[in-house]
């Protein structure tokens, strides 16, 4: 994570950035079906960075790790002109093979667990300078500052027989595109199946935007998206949002979604 | 490693930087008595970085890993205003406990394995703009660009019963100071026991400098320094250069060495 590119110190506290940097990498571990065990952190910091900001960052690393029972195992620190954070996360597969991106086959179902659209909606609110006293808007902004990946759903999916999985870091369409490409299949999404959470809906209303854009193309919530055999009975944490068919790419409501998203196809 | 701070693209090729970034971290693993198994790399690169430089960097990572039978297991890449490289190295202790910095006790001996002074001498030659056609000078510069840590000596030392160990990344005096502090002891170095390698001696002659300065205070060669019980018969790869006594700090030829090095004590 590079200051000015992946976070802004005026939009996020050191604690927020620490939670987010850890979450992004712990979610990668969960998305392979593993339980995160530790992170190591490489930091570059400017000479004039307030010590309190660095302390808060470190607290954020620790607290996010504590969510999954992991710990900060070590790291290194050096001077840099801007804040640069590199996190490596480690985990335990418990003897199972990792769930990769290449196992999707026609006839299977696509499901998601966790939040979609919060981070993008929150960022849009921050960019627009909207005051976020209102509760639902504040929840979207909080979701941008501190994602809440559904960590436990990763190993759960692996136990249920997930054949492909990843965390949604760049947007549902783009990330499912990786699964489609690696598996040599087409993924068809049904946008009506995607739930629009209250904070995302409220941000859409506030800004006059379609919340579905954020849900389909917004990254950084680190929801999990997985492909399951059709006969698997999914628990309530997983919401079926599409299916796997022969072909390539990702289709939304029957039309191809391009690299730029889906909205220009409507 | 931050561009402009830890390397300069006009002094080191992408391949050099890749070898060095990997070596610095693989040496950390060896210094705990472990065999390195893999690295993961986080990269920040400017939009205008030549692709050939990035390819060479990646080749450097892979070739340095190959020296120890390790591999590049993965990584991530993002845009940044300058080249930023974060490497995490993993290794296998083979069931042994890691060798830390805190096990030194009075009566034990201090030994080093690997090169000392090459990198600092090479950097001094580069800073002075000395043409390095001469063979020995070129070897010092090569040592600055691509350190050669004595990886195998780490697990060897652990098997021999080393009670403290680290790799010399910031200079022998400073790094042994960490051992002295963590162990609650004094380390006495005998400068006459330190070998002055030909390239370091040649650079000293060329620049009118005392090569012992580079050997005692120059970092980045990633030699290993370890403490052994006095009765251990050390193989030729390890050179005894001092002893552990009661007290604190690092003494050279009977006088305390400060944070700035030792030369102002002569």
CATH number at B217 reads 3.90.650.10
Could you tell me if A114 and A242 lie in one domain?
A: yes
Same domain for A249 and A183: yes
- Tell whether A131 is covered by a domain: yes
Do B123 and B235 sit in the same domain of this protein?
yes
Mean pLDDT, chain A, as a whole number?
94
Domain that holds residue B157: 109-265
Note whether A39 and A162 are same-domain residues. Answer: no
pLDDT bin (cut points 50, 70, 90) of residue B264 is very low
Whether A220 has a binding-site annotation, put simply, is yes
The verdict on A124 and A230 lying in the same domain is yes
For chain A, residues with pLDDT lower than 50 are: 264-266
Among B residues 194-233, those touching chain A with beta carbons less than 8 Å apart: none
Who contacts B166 (Cβ-Cβ below 8 Å, separation ≥6)? B31, B101, B175, B178, B179, B224, B225
Q: Does any domain span residue B1?
A: no
pLDDT number for residue A259? 58
pLDDT band, residue B260 (cuts 50/70/90)? low
Number of domains in chain A: 2
Which of A58, A92, A126 is where one domain is finished?
Answer: A92
| Reported ipTM | 0.82
pLDDT computed for residue A133 by the predictor: 82
- Measured from the Cβ of residue A99, the count of other Cβ atoms closer than 10 Å reads 25
Residues 89-148 on A with a CB inside 8 Å of B are 90
All residues of chain A having their beta carbon less than 8 Å from the beta carbon of residue B2 are 44, 78-81, 84
B231 domain-assigned: yes
Tell me if chain B has a CB within 8 Å of the CB of A88. yes
CA-nearest residue of chain A to B24? A76
pLDDT tens for residues B6-65?
Answer: 999 999 999 999 999 999 999 999 999 999 999 999 999 999 999 999 999 999 999 999
Residue of A5, A44, A87 lying closest to B79 (CB–CB):
A5
Within a domain: A4: no
Residues A88 and A186 in one domain: no
pLDDT digits (tens, 9 = 90+) for B206-254: 999 999 999 999 999 999 999 999 999 999 999 999 999 999 999 998 8
Of the pLDDT bands very low, low, confident and very high (cuts 50, 70, 90), residue B170 is very high
More confident residue, B258 or A207: A207
Q: Measured between CB atoms, does B42 come within 8 Å of chain A?
A: yes
| CATH number of A80's domain | 3.30.1330.10
Measured CA to CA, the distance from residue A195 to residue A211 in angstroms comes to 10
User: Which residues on chain B are in Cβ contact (under 8 Å) with A72?
Assistant: none
Describe chain B by its helix, strand, coil percentages, rounded to 5: 35, 25, 40
Q: Which of A80, A81, A86 sits opposite B42 (nearest CB)?
A: A86
pLDDT band of B134, cuts 50, 70, 90: confident
> Which of B161 and B260 is assigned the larger pLDDT?
B161
Do A84 and A137 belong to one domain? Answer: no
Which residues in chain B have their CB less than 8 angstroms from residue A178's CB? none
Task: Kindly list the strands in the beta sheet with B164-167, ordered across the sheet, starting from the edge strand earlier in the chain.
Answer: B164-167, B224-228, B109-113, B239-245, B186-189, B249-252, B255-256
Residue of A nearest to B4 (CA): A80
Helical spans, DSSP H, in chain B: 14-30, 51-67, 118-128, 135-145, 153-160, 172-183, 198-207, 211-217
Tell whether A45 is covered by a domain: yes
Torsion over CA of B153, B157, B159 and B162, rounded to 10 degrees? -170
């Amino acid at each position: 994570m590079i200051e000015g590119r992946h976070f802004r110190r005026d939009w996020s506290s050191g604690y927020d950035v620490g939670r987010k940097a850890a979450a992004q990498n712990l979610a990668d571990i969960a998305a392979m079906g593993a339980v995160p065990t530790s992170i190591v952190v490489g930091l570059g910091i400017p000479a004039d960075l307030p010590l309190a900001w660095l302390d808060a960052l470190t607290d954020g690393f620790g607290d996010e790790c504590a969510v999954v029972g992991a710990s900060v195992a070590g790291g290194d620190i050096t001077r840099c002109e801007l804040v640069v954070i590199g996190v490596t996360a480690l985990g335990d597969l418990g003897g199972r093979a990792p769930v990769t991106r290449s196992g999707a086959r026609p006839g299977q179902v696509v499901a998601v667990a966790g939040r979609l659209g919060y981070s993008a909606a929150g960022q849009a609110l921050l960019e627009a300078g909207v005051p976020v006293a209102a509760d639902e808007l504040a929840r979207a902004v909080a979701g941008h500052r501190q994602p809440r990946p559904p960590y436990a759903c990763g190993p759960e999916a692996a136990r249920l027989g997930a054949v492909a999985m990843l965390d949604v870091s760049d947007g549902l369409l783009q990330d499912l595109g990786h699964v489609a490409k690696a598996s040599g299949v087409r993924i068809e999404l049904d946008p009506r199946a995607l739930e629009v959470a209250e904070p995302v809906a409220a941000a859409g209303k506030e800004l006059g935007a379609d919340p579905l854009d954020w849900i389909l193309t917004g990254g950084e919530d680190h929801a999990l998206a997985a492909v399951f055999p059709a006969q698997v009975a999914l628990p309530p944490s997983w919401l079926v949002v599409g299916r796997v068919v022969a072909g390539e790419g990702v289709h939304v409501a029957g039309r191809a979604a391009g690299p730029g998203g889906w909205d220009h196809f409507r």
